[in-house]
Structure 1
Amino acid sequence: MDSDSDVDTTEPSYWWNRRFLLSSLFVLTTVIVAAICIWKYEGRRRERGANHQGKTVGFLYEDEAWNTSFKVIHPAWLLAYRIIAFGVLLSVIVMNYVDDGPGIFLFYTQCTFCLVTIYFAVGSSLSIYGCYKYHNRVSDDPADDVRDDEEQSISVAPALAENADATNTSKRFTFEECFSLEDTTNTSKRFTDEKGSSRKPAGVCVYIFQALYQMCGGAVVLTDLIFWGLLYPFVWDPDYDELDYLMISLHVYNFVFLLGDTALNSMRFPMFRIAYFMLWTITYVIVQWIVHACVDLWWPYPFLSLASTYAPLWYLLVGLVHIPCYCGYALIVKLKHLWFTRFFPKSFQG
């Protein structure tokens, strides 16, 4: 077998072979399994949300995106932390872009770093909204919701009576749902949580943010683990590329800042959302395949090359590594709940 440097990735023979077929079969299988997990535990939540007993494991409350893990910590502290994290991460990736150009986005590390930066940007926006809600809790009184429901039922009733307006009503509902932080499908607007508190169910924006959080959790462990545990000790050539401050920042700041956010936020980490993490990596792999099929480039990571006879095995192994990486971060979240509940039982709230 020729080395990867001797093979033209734009040649049809590079792709039309058993190695690529087996690798793509593994990728396709993973996509199907991930889609089933999302559909089963999150995709059908709208159908089950009409009653309090129908909440799935992926059910979210609106305030989970911006509330803190302790009652004594104001949401503004989480907002400040997210803004600082966003500023630092953005400055690092901008410096990396200025130094090395757009080619940095061929690497999974930089793509994941951008994902974490986006997470903190979205998180900062949701925290701003949360601080506003926190300071206007009086307006969230359940009695106001009852009055709002009565007004909505009066205004919606004529529309429901006319079949001709059904299509327009559906379109209008979808638009409102996509741009609302609250769940517009529930007329009651409030669910009772495990502690007996009345809370609003989340809208689409919060679910997207939650998916970003859990994608980042697995991805930062994967990137830092592969770099510090595999690439740096065995592949890294110090004569070719120096391990400078920027390189260290790319493989440390993502995990450290996300870990700090985990300590402060009240977000959960259900296991089924590993599906989003898998889809994130698969998206990266497919983009790499498309780029290399169009342009003859070196592979950013040796195990992505399809020139090797063991390429399908490499893809399988890297795919399996996602499981302990995701479980590792899930364990961190679990330990956070156990320790904080034990040492701060009165102030810890999730």
Structure 2
Amino acid sequence: MSFLTFITGSTKSWQPAMTVDTTTASYWLNWRVLLCSIWILISLVFASLLISKHEYRKKSGGTVSTDQQQLKEEEEFPGVLYEDEVWKPCIRSIHPVWLLGFRVFAFVVLLLMLILNVIVDGGSIFYFYTQWTFTLITIYFGLGSLLSMNGCYRYSSGGDNRLDTESGGSTKGMQLNQERKKAGFFAYAFQIIFQMNAGAVMLTDTVFWFILVPFLAIKDYNLNFLIINMHSINAVFLLGETALNSLRFPWFRIGYFFLWTSAYVVFQWILHACVSIWWPYPFLDLSSSYAPLWYSTVALMHIPCYGIFVLIMKAKHFLMSKWFPRTYRGVQ
């Protein structure tokens, strides 16, 4: 068996069989599509309410001191992020260049796998949610590499290094927070993508290993090296990044995860309304009488998939605080 065959498996790519013509009016004007549309609308409204309520700062009323104002803003703004949190490791004794090296390595590996997948299967791979998510996590590590490069440069200049080595009581902590810069657009985008990936990777790998793999096994479809790795290495790199970085994980950003999946579903609907083509996942097919059940199940799966990563973050904070009580940053 050649190396290429080992990587790509069968020379004939598996595609789900077409059921009916998806461009006809009868395919879309029925009770199944109505119920599925309601589920998507509920997801969009839920996500929009969460983001609009928690993502933006609230105006603090009354006259308060600068320190009190700082604390009140952080309490009222759960998504607060400081610029140095996107490039500093969670352990003070670890130099930021190690986090940079990990991100660059992850970006190169993921990008090469994505390019290889396009070469083997063509642009049609982007019909799949897996490739959407894989592309998103590749962008994440690419942007993270750039932010880490900038952070390492600043760290070597001494300013952030001085702040990093200082410690003290609550008063000094407030003073240090005032000296730290609040994150800009790219830093916030980076954290949002991190949290979107957290849910999307869990959802992708869960659906693949527990729903699609048994289905493909019944169809006698052999999984190849490339497919298996694309549904596992994303989680490996994401967990490694989580163990190293200092990013916070405010729960309300599950809203972006819902928006990400909803955008994919809407894209598929528009595509299938214009072109009669196979559905990338059997449970997206609206011709099935079970479609509303499938759509609602996948929508509800977002909560435990995101919840799993919330628990991973809590476990990280607990273990790091226990193993590195003096050097673990925690949530500053």
Q: TM-score, normalised by structure 2?
A: 0.84
2:46 paired with 1:33: yes
* Equivalent runs, 1:71-220 vs 2, <5 Å: 71-138=92-159, 197-198=176-177, 199-220=180-201
Quick one: which of 255, 274, 288 aligns to 1:275? 255
Report what 1:59 is aligned to. 80
Aligned AA (1:69)? C
Which deviations, in whole Å up to 9, do the C-alpha atoms of 1:6-63 show, x marking residues without a partner?
Answer: 4100001111111111111111121111111111111x22745993112211111111
Amino acid in the other structure paired with 2:29 = W
Give the distance between the partners of 2:172 and 2:103, measured in 1 at CA. 26
Q: Tell me the residue number matched to 1:222.
A: 203
> Who is 1:295 aligned against?
275
TM-superposition CA deviations, 1:235-265 (whole Å, max 9, x none): 345644x312111110011000011011110
| Identity %, equivalent residues | 51
Q: Where does structure 2 lack aligned partners over 5 or more consecutive residues?
A: 1-15, 164-170
Change (3 A) 1:334 1:298: same
- Check 1:111–1:25 CA distance in 2 against 1; reply closer, same or farther (3 A cut): same
Q: Which residue of 1 aligns with 2:11?
A: none
Is residue 88–residue 246 contact of structure 2 (8 Å, CA) maintained in 1?
A: yes
**Which runs of structure 1 show a deviation greater than 6 angstroms over 4 or more consecutive aligned residues?**
139-142, 192-195
Report the secondary structure of 2:269's partner residue. helix
- Does structure 1 conserve the Cα–Cα contact (< 8 Å) formed by 2:18 and 2:277? no
Moved more, 231-240 or 20-29: 231-240
Opposite residue 214 of structure 2, the aligned amino acid is P
Task: State which of 228, 232, 235 in structure 2 corresponds to 1:252.
Answer: 232
- 2:18–2:279 Cα contact (<8 Å) kept: no
How many Å apart are 1:231 and its aligned residue? Answer: 1.1
| Uncovered stretches (5+) of structure 1, i.e. residues with no partner | 143-191
Please provide the CA RMSD for this pair: 2.4
2-structure distance, mates of 1:4, 1:251: 22
Deviations 1:56-100 (A, max 9, x none): 111111111111010010111101100000000001111110000
Tell me the distance in 2 between the aligned counterparts of 1:308 and 1:31: 23
The number of residues matched between the two structures is: 298
C-alpha distance in structure 1 between counterparts of 2:115 and 2:187, whole Å: 27
| Whole-angstrom CA distance in 2 between matches of 1:47 and 1:307 | 49
Asked if the contact 1:31–1:279 (Cα under 8 Å) also holds between the matched residues in 2, the reply is yes
Provide the rounded CA distance (Å) in 1 between the counterparts of 2:275 and 2:51.
Answer: 34
**1:194 Cα deviation from its structure 2 partner:** 6.2
Distance 1:194 1:27, change over 3 A: farther
Q: Which moved more, 1:335-344 or 1:18-27?
A: 18-27
Query: Does the C-alpha gap of structure 1 residues 17 and 81 become closer, same or farther in structure 2, counting only changes over 3 Å?
Result: same
